Amino acid sequence: MKYKRILLKLSGEALMGDKQFGIDNQRLNQYAKEIKEIHDKGIQVALVIGGGNIFRGVQAEQGGMERTQGDYMGMLATMINSMALQAALEQMGVNTRLQSAIKMEQIAEPFIRRRAIRHLEKNRVVIFGAGTGNPFFTTDTAASLRAIEIEADVILKGTRVDGIYTADPEKDPSATKYDRVTFTEVYEKGLNVMDMTAFTLCNENKVPIVVFDMNKSGNLSKVVSGDKVGTLVEF
């Protein structure tokens, strides 16, 4: 295996499947199955999932709500997704621990770095919910921060597209895909990988990123094996 400890970042929108809102159980179970597959190979897995299928702080701000309030609501949305993913994984026999950046004693442990690492060493999947616990930071930034804190080998960003392109492939049919790209090239070419705060954190702390299509069955397993799937952002 190319990586021993990974942080997998999933978008909340991906959990909708073909729905307009909420959680598609079929998609949820597909993700859980893929995660179980790599976990069974002995890879230590940590997860961060967004909340956009339930609530987005940015939308709330556009509707006149205070940004801080909207962001906290978004953090709670990530907890709902995290709990759903935890339930799906545990139904498949995978031991998981959910840690929250906002205290919710009844449903999750507080985020404690040393405890998170210990869970990983004991072969438990660790899900980090509630973002960073602070408004104005995205779940991408939470993923970068947690990856650095647990000393993950890589961030795997599971999306709907199969990598990083010269332009948005859903809008521009002539867009071409990069197999590998450096952090410097991403800055220079203005490529969209993750938000700039998250991306800079990875760059400064030397955490590579792989952007790949999580919806294609078997892709996650291929990425952790070092196969050429998606786009690798390296130094």
| pLDDT (tens digit per residue) in 135-157 | 999 999 999 999 999 999 999 99
Give percent of the chain with pLDDT exceeding 70: 100
Signed CA dihedral, 21, 46, 156, 72: sign only: positive
Domains along the chain?
Answer: 5-234 (3.40.1160.10)
**Residues 7-25, mean pLDDT to the nearest whole number:** 93
Signed CA dihedral, 204, 206, 207, 212: sign only: positive
The reported pTM is: 0.95
pLDDT over 80 (residue 81): yes
| pLDDT (tens digit per residue) in 166-195 | 988 878 889 899 999 999 999 999 998 999
Could you give phi then psi for residue 96, rounded to 5 degrees?
-130, 160
| pLDDT (tens digit per residue) in 67-78 | 999 999 999 999
User: Residue 197 corresponds to which amino acid?
Assistant: T
What confidence score (pLDDT) does residue 63 get?
Answer: 82
How buried is residue 206: exposed, middle or buried, by Cβ count under 10 Å (0-12/13-18/19+)?
A: exposed
